[in-house]
C-alpha cells in the first residue's frame, strides 16, 4: 500500500528548510572549530568542535533520504525522460553555473597569498570546475539518475519483496532501527576499501554511504505502514537515539586505544557509532516531524523554494565575509554571531532580490520559471 501521489508531505518541506539552515549554521562555525577550513580564526574552540561533530552525522543523510522520497514521488507523476530533463535543469545546470561562478571566490580567498587580483585569476579558477560545497548537488544528480532504474526494480517482484520485508520489520518497536546493520556494513566495507575523506563522487566510502539513505527514502515512501510506523514509534526511536548518543560520545572521549586495537579497528568502531547516531536520528527526527510539522504555512512555500539557491550561495558568502570577520579583535562568540547575521542577511537578499524576480537567474540556479511573469508575457 503506497502513499498517494497527491499527498503533500509537509514534514519534508519543514525538514528540508531546517536542515539546510543547519548546514548554513555549521559552515558559519567552521572557521572557529580548529578543523582546518577555507578560512580559519587564529583561536579555536574545542567545545564547538565537539558539538559540531555530532550534528554533522545526520544533517546531510536526512537530506539524501528526503531526496530519495522526492524522486519516487516525481517518477510516479512524470516519465523517465521528463524526470531526467528536470534533474538536468534543476541540478546539473546549477552545479555547472555554481562551479564556474560561485565557487571560485572561495578558492581565491583560501589561497589569496598565492594569487594576483581576483579578476586576473578568475579564468583559471573557473576552469578548475571545483564543486567544493556543491558536491552535495553532484551526488543528488547522480543518485537521481540511478533512481530511474531503481524505481523499475522496486516495481518488480524482487523490489516488492524488499519493501514487504521492511514493512514486516516496521511492525515491531525498534524494528526499523535494525536496518542500521546494512548502513554499518556499507560504511565500514567501503571506508576500508576507499580510505579517503573527500567528497568526490568516485570516493565510494562517501557516495555509497549517502546512497543508502537515498535508497531508504525510496523504499520507505512506498508503504504507508512503514511511514506510519516511524511516526508511531518516535518515542522508541528517541530512546535509541539517546543511547546511541551516549555510545557516540563515550567512544569520542575514550582514552587512546592504539595499544589494544589496530588503526582499522579503531576507525571501524568510529564508523559504527556514527552510523548508530545517523540512522536513529533519521528515524527520530522524521517521526517527530510527522507528528508536529503536519502543515505547511504560506511562508514555508517561499522558503522551500529559495532554500536551494540559498544553499548554493551561502558558503561563498560566509567565506568572503568571514575573511574579514576573523581579523576582528574580539571573542569567538561575537565573531560567530556577527558572521551568522551578516551572512544570513546577504545570502537571503541575493536569493530574494536578485535570483527570485528574474527568470534567467531562476533557471541558472535551479528554480522553476516565475509563473506570474510568464502569464503577463503570454497575455501581451
pLDDT tens, 10-67? 999 999 999 999 999 999 999 999 988 999 999 999 999 999 999 999 999 999 999 9
The x, y and z cell numbers of residue 214, run together, are 537515498
Is a pLDDT exceeding 60 seen at residue 378?
Answer: no
Q: pLDDT tens digits, residue range 215-239?
A: 999 999 999 999 999 999 999 999 9
Mean pLDDT of 288-312: 95
Is a pLDDT exceeding 80 seen at residue 3?
Answer: no
pLDDT at 8: 73
List the single range of 205-214, 252-261, 312-321, 369-378 with lowest mean pLDDT.
369-378
pLDDT at 206: 96
205 vs 268: CA distance, rounded Å: 12
240 vs 169: CA distance, rounded Å: 16
Q: pLDDT tens digits, residue range 118-175?
A: 999 999 999 888 999 999 999 999 999 999 999 999 999 999 999 999 999 999 999 9
Which residues make Cβ contacts (< 8 Å) with residue 85, sequence separation at least 6?
Answer: none
380 vs 58: CA distance, rounded Å: 49
55 vs 231: CA distance, rounded Å: 22
Could you tell me the pLDDT band of residue 2, with boundaries at 50, 70 and 90? low
190 vs 211: CA distance, rounded Å: 12
Residues 48-78 as b/e (b if ≥16 CB within 10 A, e otherwise) read beeebeeeebbbbbbbbbbbbbbbbbbbeee
Quick one: which H or E segment has residue 380? none
Side-chain-facing half-sphere of 193: CA atoms under 13 Å = 14
Instruction: Give the orientation angle of helix 10-29 with respect to helix 298-325, to 10 degrees.
Output: 10
Q: In terms of C-beta density within 10 A (0-12 exposed, 13-18 middle, 19 or more buried), how is residue 6 classed?
A: exposed
Q: Are 157 and 186 in contact (CB under 8 A)?
A: no
237 vs 243: CA distance, rounded Å: 10
Predicted TM-score (pTM) of this structure: 0.94
Mean pLDDT of 188-192: 96
Q: Are 89 and 138 in contact (CB under 8 A)?
A: no
Mean pLDDT of 171-189: 97
- Cα separations in angstroms, 226 against 7, 175, 217, 341: 16, 10, 11, 40
pLDDT at 56: 96
Q: What are the start-end ranges of the H helices in the chain?
A: 10-29, 46-55, 59-75, 80-87, 93-97, 104-110, 118-127, 135-154, 157-170, 180-193, 204-220, 224-232, 234-252, 263-292, 298-325, 332-349, 359-364, 371-379
pLDDT at 7: 63
pLDDT at 209: 98
Q: pLDDT tens digits, residue range 342-377?
A: 999 999 999 999 999 999 999 999 999 987 544 444
Side-chain-facing half-sphere of 144: CA atoms under 13 Å = 26
267 vs 59: CA distance, rounded Å: 21
Amino acid at each position: 500500500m503506497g502513499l498517494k501521489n497527491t499527498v503533500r508531505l509537509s514534514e519534508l518541506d519543514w525538514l528540508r528548510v531546517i536542515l539546510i539552515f543547519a548546514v548554513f549554521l555549521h559552515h558559519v562555525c567552521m572557521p572557529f572549530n580548529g578543523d582546518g577550513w577555507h578560512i580559519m580564526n587564529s583561536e579555536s574552540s574545542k567545545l564547538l568542535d565537539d558539538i559540531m561533530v555530532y550534528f554533522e552525522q545526520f544533517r546531510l543523510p536526512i537530506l539524501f533520504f528526503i531526496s530519495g522520497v522526492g524522486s519516487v514521488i516525481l517518477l510516479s507523476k512524470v516519465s523517465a525522460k521528463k524526470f531526467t530533463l528536470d534533474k538536468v535543469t534543476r541540478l546539473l545546470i546549477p552545479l555547472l553555473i555554481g562551479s564556474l561562478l560561485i565557487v571560485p571566490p572561495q578558492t581565491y580567498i583560501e589561497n589569496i597569498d598565492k594569487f594576483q587580483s581576483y579578476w586576473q585569476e578568475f579564468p583559471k579558477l573557473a576552469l578548475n570546475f571545483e564543486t567544493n560545497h556543491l558536491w552535495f548537488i553532484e551526488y543528488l544528480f547522480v543518485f537521481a539518475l540511478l533512481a530511474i532504474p531503481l524505481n523499475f526494480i522496486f516495481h518488480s517482484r524482487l523490489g516488492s519483496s524488499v519493501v514487504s520485508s521492511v514493512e514486516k520489520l516496521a511492525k515491531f518497536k525498534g524494528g526499523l532501527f535494525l536496518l542500521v546493520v546494512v548502513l554499518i556494513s556499507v560504511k565500514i566495507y567501503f571506508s576500508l576499501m576507499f580510505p579517503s575523506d573527500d567528497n568526490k563522487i568516485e570516493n565510494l566510502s562517501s557516495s555509497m554511504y549517502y546512497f543508502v539513505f537515498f535508497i531508504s527514502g525510496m523504499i520507505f515512501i512506498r508503504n504507508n505502514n512503514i511511514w506510519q510506523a516511524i511516526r508511531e514509534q518516535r518515542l522508541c526511536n528517541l530512546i535509541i537515539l539517546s543511547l546511541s548518543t551516549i555510545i557516540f560520545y563515550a567512544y569520542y572521549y575514550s582514552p587512546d586505544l592504539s595499544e589494544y586495537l589496530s588503526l582499522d579497528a579503531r576507525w571501524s568502531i568510529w564508523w559504527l557509532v556514527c552510523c548508530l547516531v545517523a540512522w536513529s536520528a533519521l528515524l527520530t527526527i522524521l517521526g517527530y516531524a510527522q507528528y508536529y510539522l503536519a502543515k505547511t504555512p504560506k511562508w514555508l512555500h517561499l522558503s522551500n523554494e529559495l532554500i536551494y539557491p540559498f544553499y548554493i550561495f551561502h558558503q561563498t558568502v560566509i567565506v568572503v565575509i568571514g575573511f574579514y570577520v576573523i581579523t576582528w579583535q574580539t571573542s569567538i562568540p561575537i565573531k560567530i554571531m556577527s558572521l551568522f547575521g551578516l551572512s544570513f542577511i546577504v545570502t537571503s537578499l541575493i536569493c530574494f532580490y536578485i535570483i527570485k524576480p528574474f527568470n534567467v537567474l531562476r533557471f541558472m540556479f535551479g528554480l522553476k520559471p516565475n509563473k506570474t511573469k510568464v502569464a503577463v508575457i503570454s497575455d501581451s
